[in-house]
Chains A and B, each alone.
Chain A
């Protein structure tokens, strides 16, 4: 052992002080591999999104080469998209009218009122509903809601296919999405917030509506937006229950083809690739994509504006 003063990284010396630990960089090859894998998986979803847009663009350009915008955004019986947009929006609005109050009500009950045991049973049950295939819901609308409920029980003068039944069942379908996500958002609000409110002499409903819900508003709004996107994009229920007539009236008792319903019908296989009818599919698809994109952007900005961070 050397008796001279050791360098900073040298072994312990005669002064009896412990050696300075080695602080140099160490190679961690696995770290780099994992980082690369994570980057790839993050990039993949972006790449797929752009891939979808790219795949849509070519047929859309071809379509608008033959059909002018003015015809597309009109009530034109063959190429007008307006009746489809009306149908989609009607069905979606009916669905939201059903699903938002019921979904939020369920979420508030589960998060704020239910005992721990009740929640343990109810929440998975609600989530189970989200797993029912939409074709089952479609048949439920077609063979039960319209004939038994709307025509039979309520005695409504209603078509065999109609927007009301489709919207109602669509609403039922998205309740679990809204309820489950909104419940997560409400439950994530710190307990201290509730205690603070209750300690002020507020009751449970006031606490839930005036403190917990505003605190969770961004999560709750996200739940509603996701439910809405599912309703707009849902195909089977509307294809079965809302009918295949283009209809730009606002009568919910009549059948209304939606954008997705139209696409399902047109994609049936009779139209050769590259034909005008085939390209119509892509034009409608692009519009649907843009509508959901705009709706999502609007709701994100609303959430930003009203967000109450905690």
Chain B
């Protein structure tokens, strides 16, 4: 099984080019070959749903202030891996996780770790916009309220979050109106605003644009690149152009059928700089997939 060298964690075997701020100042983002600072890391991650082995031995390190895209065909386990990163898989009956998911070098699956605490640091944006049936204001204020965040002024926090998600100008006059009056793209940006209102460290995005039209998609993609300054973003996408446009690094997953049962187990094929994955992939399967020859 492919276990690409780029999954090495903090041990960097090539010299780091410049500091992170310099890297981000550059329009072309000449990133080092390996994440400089690892925020999260999956180690020998295996996921089972009952008897079904969904994900096999994934090793993947996510760099701070980078956008990491996880791509691959349906059933390759990329969404499953994403949901392991903030323990959302706990909600699936019969789901079992083996291996480690490190967040600032702590295993979030270790005994005594509170999944609720994990989720306050690692936020998530879902495939379909899922605002709460509340006002725009209350949607943003919900997270800080339930997590008991110390807030000087909720109004300021709501404004800051909505500005952060590039939504403020569109909704500032109707904060007390239902979030369901917004368009799909606005709702999705509201969900992003809601997530950043709790000031997380990492934002997970599960196909955040798949329910949006191209214009709304472009706005969310711009937003993701803006948010990279302050957050680490991990995004699952079906859209390879999207991965190529927004991400710094790309992990390609595929599904391997079991010889006896025919069940398809997801595994990581290749993980590298996005520019390299899309121009000069190291694995034949990656090349087939990104060039559209995937069987």
Contacts and interface: CB of A to CB of B under 8 A. Distances in A.
B130 A193 contact: yes
Nearest to A205: B146
Interface in B115-143: 116-117, 119-120, 123-124, 126, 128, 130-134, 142-143
Nearest to B191: A196
A55 interface: no
Contacts of A210: 142, 146
A200 B143 contact: yes
Contact of A200 (B119, B133, B134): B119
A310 interface: yes
A201 B147 contact: yes
Contact of B198 (A116, A194, A198, A201): A201
Given A206-B146, A308-B178, A199 B88 contact: yes
A215 interface: yes
B88 A202 contact: no
B91 interface: yes
A131 to B, nearest CB: 31
A201 B133 contact: no
Given A116-B93, A202-B147, A210-B142, A196 B117 contact: no
B20 to A, nearest CB: 27
A200 B86 CA distance: 10
What interface size band does chain B fall in? 20 to 34
B195 interface: yes
A196 B130 contact: yes
Contact of B119 (A194, A199, A309): A199
A195 B119 contact: no
A197 B142 contact: yes
Interface in B88-129: 88, 91, 93, 116-117, 119-120, 123-124, 126, 128
A309 B195 contact: no
B64 interface: no
A78 interface: no
A199 B124 CA distance: 6
Given A198-B91, A201-B116, A192 B128 contact: yes
Interface residues of A, number: 23
A200 B147 contact: yes
A70 interface: no
Contacts of B134: 214, 308
Secondary structure dominating the interface of A: helix
B194 interface: yes
A215 B131 CA distance: 11
B180 interface: yes
A202 B133 contact: no
A211 interface: yes
A197 B91 CA distance: 12
Contact of B133 (A194, A198, A309): A309
A274 interface: no
A309 B132 contact: no
A309 B181 CA distance: 11
Contacts of B123: 199-200
Interface string A39-66: 0000000000000000000000000000
The listed residue with most B CB atoms (<10 A of its CB), out of A192, A202, A309, is A202
Contact of A310 (B88, B91, B117, B133): B133
A308 B133 contact: yes
Interface string B130-172: 1111100000001100110000000000000000000000000
Interface in B183-218: 191, 194-195, 198
A201 B120 contact: yes
A200 B126 CA distance: 12
A4 interface: no
A11 interface: no
Given A201-B117, A309-B180, A310-B180, A190 B130 contact: yes
A200 to B, nearest CB: 4
Nearest to A310: B133
B202 to A, nearest CB: 12
Candidate in A193, A200, A202, A206 with the most chain B CB atoms within 10 angstroms: A200
A158 to B, nearest CB: 45
B119 A201 contact: yes
Interface in A105-122: 115-116
Contacts of A195: 88, 91, 124, 126, 130
Contacts of A115: 93
B194 to A, nearest CB: 7
A198 B132 contact: no
30 contacts: A115-B93, A116-B93, A190-B130, A192-B126, A192-B130, A193-B130, A193-B133, A195-B88, A195-B126, A195-B130, A196-B126, A198-B91, A198-B116, A198-B119, A199-B88, A199-B119, A199-B123, A200-B119, A200-B143, A200-B195, A200-B198, A201-B116, A201-B117, A201-B143, A202-B116, A206-B146, A214-B134, A215-B132, A215-B133, A310-B133
Given A200-B123, A210-B142, 10 more contacts: A190-B130, A196-B194, A199-B88, A199-B126, A200-B198, A202-B143, A211-B142, A308-B134, A308-B178, A309-B180
Pairs of residues from A and B, 7 with the lowest C-beta to C-beta distance, nearest first: A308-B133, A201-B120, A199-B124, A192-B130, A200-B143, A202-B146, A196-B130
